[in-house]
C-alpha cells in the first residue's frame, strides 16, 4: 500500500504503486502512473498522464510535466524541470489567450537508471539514455547517450559514467573501467556499452 501525506494533492484517477511514498505538498495530476517503491518529494509536481516506472526518486520541488516518461530506477534531483512546450507562448499572435488545445505537448524521456542533477532543465523533446547522468544546473537540449555524463549550458558530454554513477577511468584505447565495481565498458564512436563476458 502506498504512503500519501495528508497534504499531498493526488488526483482520484492517478495510480500509485505498492510501497510508494508521496510527501507533503506534492501534486500528482490526473491519469499519472507511478510505479512501485517510488518516492515523490515535498512540493514536487507530476503532470497529467506522466508515466513513472518502479524505484524512481523525484526530489523536492521537481517539475515533471506531461507527457514525460521515466523508466525504472530514474533519479530526478531537487528543483529539476522536464519541460513540455517547444515554442511556449501565453497568447496567440492575435493577442488572444492560448488554451490547452492551442499547442501540442512534447515530452522528455528518461531511460532506466539515469540521474538528473539538482536544478537541471531538460528541454523537450529529448531522451536521456540509460544510466546517463545530467550534472546539476545543466540545460539538456539534445539527446544524451547511455552512460554519458553531461554538464553545462547547453549540456555536453564531459565523461562516461558506469551503472554505479562514478566517472569511468580509461584502461586502454576505447576501454573504460568503473573504479567502484570494476565493470568494463567499450567505447564505440559516441556510444558506450558494457563489456560482455
158-193 per-position pLDDT tens digit: 999 999 999 999 998 899 999 999 999 999 988 999
Residues 31 and 59 in one domain: yes
Residues 35 and 112 in one domain: yes
Residues 6+ apart with CB under 8 A from 52: 32, 33, 34, 35, 38, 46, 58, 64, 70, 74
Residues 56 and 20 in one domain: yes
Per-residue 3-state assignment (H helix, E strand, C coil) for 103-133: CCCCCEEECCCCEECCCCEECCCEEECCCCE
pLDDT of residue 74: 98
* Chain-centroid distance, C-alpha 122: 8
pLDDT of residue 90: 93
The parent domain of residue 176 ranges over: 163-197
Residues 140 and 79 in one domain: yes
Residues 65 and 153 in one domain: yes
Q: What is the enclosing helix (H) or strand (E) of 151?
A: strand 148-151
Band of pLDDT at residue 19, cut at 50, 70 and 90: very high
Q: What percent of the chain has pLDDT over 90?
A: 91
4 and 16 Cβ atoms separated by less than 8 Å:
yes
Number of domains in the chain: 2
118 and 101 Cβ atoms separated by less than 8 Å:
no
Residues 149 and 87 in one domain: yes
Nine-digit cell string for 54: 518502479
Band of pLDDT at residue 197, cut at 50, 70 and 90: low
Q: Which residues pair with 177 in a beta bridge?
A: 169, 184
127 and 111 Cβ atoms separated by less than 8 Å:
yes
How many whole angstroms separate alpha carbon 167 and alpha carbon 177?
A: 9
Q: Which residues pair with 173 in a beta bridge?
A: none
106 and 84 Cβ atoms separated by less than 8 Å:
yes
Among 71, 75, 63, residue whose Cα is nearest residue 124 = 63
Nine-digit cell string for 196: 560482455
Band of pLDDT at residue 29, cut at 50, 70 and 90: very high
Lowest mean per-residue pLDDT among 47-51, 94-98, 125-129:
94-98
Average pLDDT of the chain to the nearest whole number: 96
Full-model pTM: 0.95
Residues 53 and 42 in one domain: yes
Amino acid at each position: 500500500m502506498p504512503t500519501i501525506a495528508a497534504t499531498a494533492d493526488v488526483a482520484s484517477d492517478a495510480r500509485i504503486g505498492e510501497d510508494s511514498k508521496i510527501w507533503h505538498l506534492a501534486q500528482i495530476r490526473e491519469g499519472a502512473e507511478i510505479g512501485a517503491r517510488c518516492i515523490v518529494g515535498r512540493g514536487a509536481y507530476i503532470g497529467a498522464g506522466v508515466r513513472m516506472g518502479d524505484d524512481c526518486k523525484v526530489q523536492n520541488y521537481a517539475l515533471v510535466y506531461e507527457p514525460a516518461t521515466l523508466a525504472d530506477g530514474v533519479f530526478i534531483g531537487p528543483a529539476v524541470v522536464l519541460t513540455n512546450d517547444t515554442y511556449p507562448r501565453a497568447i496567440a499572435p492575435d493577442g488572444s489567450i492560448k488554451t490547452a488545445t492551442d499547442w501540442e505537448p512534447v515530452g522528455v524521456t528518461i531511460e532506466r537508471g539515469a540521474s538528473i542533477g539538482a536544478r537541471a532543465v531538460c528541454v523537450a523533446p529529448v531522451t536521456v539514455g540509460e544510466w546517463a547522468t545530467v550534472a546539476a544546473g545543466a540545460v539538456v537540449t539534445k539527446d544524451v547517450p547511455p552512460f554519458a555524463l553531461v554538464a553545462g549550458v547547453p549540456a555536453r558530454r564531459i565523461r562516461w559514467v558506469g551503472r554505479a554513477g562514478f566517472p569511468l577511468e580509461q584502461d586502454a584505447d576505447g576501454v573504460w573501467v568503473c573504479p567502484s565495481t570494476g565493470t568494463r565498458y567499450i567505447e564505440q564512436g559516441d556510444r558506450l556499452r558494457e563489456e560482455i563476458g
